[in-house]
Amino acid sequence: MMRSGVPTIASFGRVLEMLEAMIADGGQSSVAAIARSIGMPVATAHRQVATLVNEGYLVAASRGQFLAGPRLLGLLHRLDEKQIIVGCAAPLLHKLASDLRAVVQLGTFDNDMVTYRVKTGEGASELFTRVGMQLEAYCSGIGKVLLAHLPEGQLDAYLDTGPFPALTDRTITDPKALVAELRLVAQRGFAVDDGEIAEGLHCLAAPVSAPDGRVLAAISVSQMADEMRPASEILPVLFQTAREIEMAAFGASKISA
């Protein structure tokens, strides 16, 4: 972890600001115009752009305009959006779990299964899930959130993988009933697991989205049904934590989306 109070390099921050502005502009404006839009001296901007071109982060397009270069594109291909979310989410989920005195988890959808990537909170060791475990999606709060936001064709393909075995007498196993449940999840913005994956276990789950609207992960709060706080107490802080994760992972791009 980085020590608090470590001084930053202001000039480097300005270079990054220029790079971000150039990428956001998409080669539509001149360097001078972009420099003026962010309050940077034009001469300084030209030196920064020349350096970024020389290092491969930008490439000249036409008439003094620039686009993302091969080195920057290469870095983008290496990015794992889900792993970025996990890294940003962990401290926020620890706080949520502490505040609610509950088990809090984050999962992603991979190969038709939920992959549990973060698990924390009071009673976490007693819950059967573990980080790295994959479980069926149809019977959990996290899974239902992720399924509810799949593109239609991908969801249809998932439904074709049935049958869906019952894990408890509350598990939704009928594909038509599952589709109706997923529509409800998409409409209200959260999912409920009321003893569907394990007897007596109650869960509320909410989506974590990318700036373009794709749901990349879901977070949940789990407690035994007889200990669970009312949904009216949990949902506001659950939604707030999801938004904080999005902001931590995607920053200003989440606002502008």
Per-residue pLDDT of the chain (257 residues; tens, 9 = 90+): 445 556 777 888 899 999 989 888 888 889 999 999 999 999 999 999 999 999 998 998 777 788 888 888 777 666 688 888 998 999 999 999 999 999 999 999 999 999 999 999 988 888 899 999 999 999 999 999 999 999 999 999 999 988 899 999 999 999 999 999 999 999 999 999 999 999 999 999 999 999 889 999 999 999 887 787 889 999 999 999 999 999 998 875 554 44
Q: How confident is the model at residue 243, as a pLDDT?
A: 96
- Percent composition of the chain: helix, strand, coil (DSSP 3-state, to 5): 50, 20, 35
| CB-based burial label for 122 (10 Å; 0-12, 13-18, 19+) | middle
Measured CA to CA, the distance from residue 139 to residue 182 in angstroms comes to 11
Q: How confident is the model at residue 1, as a pLDDT?
A: 47
Task: Go through 216-230 and write b for each residue having 16 or more CB atoms within 10 A of its CB, e for each that does not.
Answer: bbbbbbbbbeeebee
Q: How confident is the model at residue 2, as a pLDDT?
A: 46
What domains are defined for the chain?
Answer: 10-78 (1.10.10.10), 81-256 (3.30.450.40)
For the chain, give the longest Cα–Cα distance.
Answer: 70
Q: Quick check: 15 and 52 in contact, CB under 8 A?
A: yes
The identity of residue 58, as a single letter, is L
pTM: 0.73
